[in-house]
Chain A
C-alpha cells in the first residue's frame, strides 16, 4: 500500500523506486486493469492451447519427441512448408509493394474496385480458393493446359502450385501494411531529393524505399506466418505426395486420423518453435530499423 500511495505524489520516496518503474503517474488511467486484462486474455486465448500442445507432445519424452519429428517425411514437410512460405512471402513483398504503390500514387478509373479486390483472399473460404486454383491450374484447366502444352510446365500437384496458393492467401497482408505508410510519406522528402539532384531511381531507392522497409518487413512476416499455417487452399492444389508436396498442417491431420495424437502434437510443437524463432528475428530486425528513424 505504501508503494501504491507514494507513486501518486510528485516526489516519490526512496522506498518506491522499484514500484515506480511499473507504476508511473500517467494521465491515462487503468494501466493495472488493462494490463491484467491483456495478460489473462492472451493467456487464455493463445498460451493455453499452446501449453496444452506442448504438454501433449511432452508425453512422448525427450527421445520420443525427436523420434517423431526427425523422420524423413516430417523433415521434408518442414522444407516444403517453410521453404514455400518464404518464397510466397518474398513474391508478395515485391508484387504487393507494387500494388500498394499503384493504389496510393495514381488515380485511375476503377481504383476502388481494385482496392476492394485486394481483400478478397481474406474473405474467401480458403477451401474455395484451393478448389478454384486447382481447377484453373490442373493439366486440363484454363491456365494449366496452355502452360503444360506450350512450356511443359506443370503447376497443380507440384511445389509451384503450393507457392501460387500461398501467394494468393498472403497478398493482402503486404498490401495492407505498406499502403498506409506510403500514404503518409511526406511528398516534401521526395521533392527535396529531386531538387538536390537525385534521379527518379535514386529518389526511390534512397528515400522512399528505406521509409517503407519496416512496413514491408511486417507484411512479409505476416504473409509468411499465414503461409506456414495455411491448410485449406493448399491441400487441393498440392497433390499431397509425401516427401514432395506434403505440407506440415496436412501431415498433422494425417497423424490425427491415425490416432497418433502425441506425434501430431510433437510436429505441431516443433513447427511452433521454428515459426516463433523466425518471427522473433523479423521483429527484432524491424525494431532495429524503426528505432533508427522514429520521429
Chain B
C-alpha cells in the first residue's frame, strides 16, 4: 500500500515539529526516516499511524484520505522503541491481542487465532517463548514479540519508531539484518525512524533525511551518501572533514591556501568544503606540509589524524594500505584531496 503525505504541518506550542512536509512512500518499499532528534521524524511517523493529528495537510493511504480515520481503522502496524508490550500478558496473549479485540463478527475462531499466533512466533523465532511474560525476555526478544504483535493484524503498512534504539550494538545489528530478510520475504510497505545513519543506509530501500521539520533529501542510500544535496546531509551522513574556504575562479582555498579544491566556476564567496576521510590521500614525505598527530587502528580500518597549517584533518584507509605506508606519529606527510564538495553560503 502506498502512502502519500502532502503539506503536513504540526506545531507543538511555539515549536514547529513539521513544516509542510511532502512525501511519497511506494508500495512494498522499506523507507527510512533519518534525522537528528527534534527533526520531526517520529512526529511524522505517529501522524501516519493516527497517534497524532497534524494541524494542516493531507495523508492518503492507498489513494484514500486517511486523516479522518481512527488508528484502528487504518490497518497500520506500529512498533515502539521501548516495545510497549503488555506486561501482564504472556507473549502469546500479546501477539493475539489484535486478533482478540476484533468485533465478534470479524473475529477468527480461537483455534485459528492460536494457529496464526504460533505461526507468527515461529516467524520471529520465539515459538518456545509463548507462555513467558515480557519481563522474562531480553530486549531483542521483546522487540521481536512487538513485531509479531504488529504483524498479527495483517497491517497494510508497518511503522517502526526507532525499533533498535534501545538494544545493544550486537543485537541491533543482528535484528537489523533479520528485519531486512523478513521484509524481502513479506514485502510489506514499511517506514522506520532512526537517528543512526549506518542503520538507515544499510537497511532501507530509500532514505529520507530530515532536519528541523523539513525533508532535506530523498534518495537511495548510495544517492544520499555520494551526492548529498545540502551541507546538512553531508555532515549528518558519515564522518566528514569540514573546512571553511573561500571560492574564486573555480578554486576553493582552504585556510591559508595550503589545500585547494577545484569547483564549479559559478560558485563565489566564502563557503564550506566537505571531504570524507576516505577521500583524503596521505603519503609520507620528509618535507611534507602535514604532520601525523594520531593513529587509530580499529578492526580492518586505520584512521590517521593530521595537522596541516593549523587545520586538523582525519583520513581513513584500509589497514593493509596503512601498514605499507609505515607511518608513525610525528612523521611529515603530504595530503591530497581526491573528492570534495563545496557549498557556498
Which A residues have a C-beta under 8 Å from some C-beta of B?
Answer: 186, 188-189, 191-199, 202, 206-207, 210-211, 292-295
Contacts and interface: CB of A to CB of B under 8 A. Distances in A.
Given A197-B153, A202-B101, A295-B87, A192 B80 contact: yes
A20 to B, nearest CB: 26
Contact of B87 (A196, A202, A211): A211
Contacts of B135: 293-295
- Listed from nearest, the 8 A-B pairs whose CB atoms lie closest are A196-B98, A188-B84, A293-B87, A197-B72, A293-B88, A195-B78, A198-B101, A192-B84
B82 interface: yes
A207 B72 contact: no
Contacts of A195: 49-51, 71-72, 76-78, 150
A292 to B, nearest CB: 6
Nearest to A188: B84
Contact of B101 (A191, A197, A293, A295): A197
15 contacts: A191-B51, A192-B80, A193-B86, A193-B97, A194-B70, A195-B72, A195-B76, A196-B98, A196-B152, A197-B72, A197-B98, A210-B88, A293-B134, A294-B135, A295-B135
B107 to A, nearest CB: 11
B195 interface: no
A196 B98 CA distance: 5
Contacts of A202: 101
Contacts of B80: 188, 191-192
A105 to B, nearest CB: 17
A181 to B, nearest CB: 12
Contacts of A194: 51, 70-72
B343 interface: no
A292 B134 CA distance: 10
B253 interface: no
Nearest to B133: A293
Contacts of B146: 192
B72 A198 contact: yes
B50 A198 contact: no
A199 B88 CA distance: 19
Contacts of B86: 189, 192-193, 206-207
A294 B132 CA distance: 12
A211 B98 CA distance: 18
A295 to B, nearest CB: 5
A183 B307 CA distance: 54
Contacts of A207: 86
Given A195-B49, A195-B76, A197-B72, A292 B97 contact: no
A186 B97 contact: no
Contacts of B84: 186, 188-189, 191-192
Interface in B237-285: none
Nearest to A195: B78
B291 to A, nearest CB: 48
Nearest to B87: A293
A206 B133 CA distance: 16
Given A196-B149, A293-B133, A295-B135, 5 more contacts: A195-B76, A196-B97, A196-B153, A197-B101, A197-B102
Contacts of B153: 196-197
A251 to B, nearest CB: 42
A199 B72 CA distance: 8
Contacts of A292: 88, 133
Contacts of A206: 86, 97, 101
Nearest to A186: B84
A266 B309 CA distance: 95
A211 B97 contact: no
A211 B71 contact: no
Nearest to A209: B88
Contacts of A186: 82, 84
Interface string B113-145: 000000000000000000001110000000000
A232 to B, nearest CB: 39
A292 B132 CA distance: 10
- Among B76, B101, B146, chain A packs the most CB atoms within 10 A around the CB of B101
Contacts of B133: 292-293
Contact of B78 (A191, A198, A211, A295): A191
